[in-house]
Amino acid sequence: MKTLRAADIIVGCGIALFGIFIIYASTLIRGGAEHRLPPETFPMVVGFLLLICGSALALKSWRLRGADLAIKWPDGEGARTILITLASVACYIVLLNPLGLPLASFLYIAFSIWYLKRSKWLLAIAISLITAAISYYLFIRLLGLSFPAGFLFE
């Protein structure tokens, strides 16, 4: 029987290995125009965060004592939720270049909050606006990373 503890250990190790892969891949990034930060900085930070979080999840689950919870497979509603969530991530990736980071993030986060949390659309729009503004000013303006700004901000 598959248990939550075993799943957490496997997922934690997988995330940590993915972080190691990203750290290694970021060391291979070369060149590019001079920016405020070298182009490998952001992927390396993400890699280290994945390594730390994955390792912490695996270690926490490894040390966990007590009753192990059995994993239940999602029913039809759960499978539909997973598929729609994956489709929305795919749409976000496809729309990132044509619409830019702020607008694509706004649309993705608004839809995700509304769909997954079943929240009111006004709350979803407010959170999405704040996130889009922060992503624009932090990643594009302040850090000068080469994310697409989109036609609204160019």
Instruction: Give the tens place of pLDDT for each residue, 124-152.
Output: 899 999 998 998 888 877 877 777 777 76
Q: What is the pLDDT of residue 123?
A: 85
Q: What is the pLDDT of residue 31?
A: 67
pLDDT higher than 70, residue 3: no
Q: What is the pLDDT of residue 48?
A: 95
Q: What is the pLDDT of residue 84?
A: 93
**Cβ 102 vs Cβ 119: under 8 Å:** no
Neighbours of 35 (CB within 10 A): 12
CA angle 96, 100, 101 (to 5 degrees): 75
Confirm whether pTM is higher than 0.75.
no
pLDDT higher than 90, residue 23: yes
pLDDT band at 94 (very low <50, low <70, confident <90, very high): very high
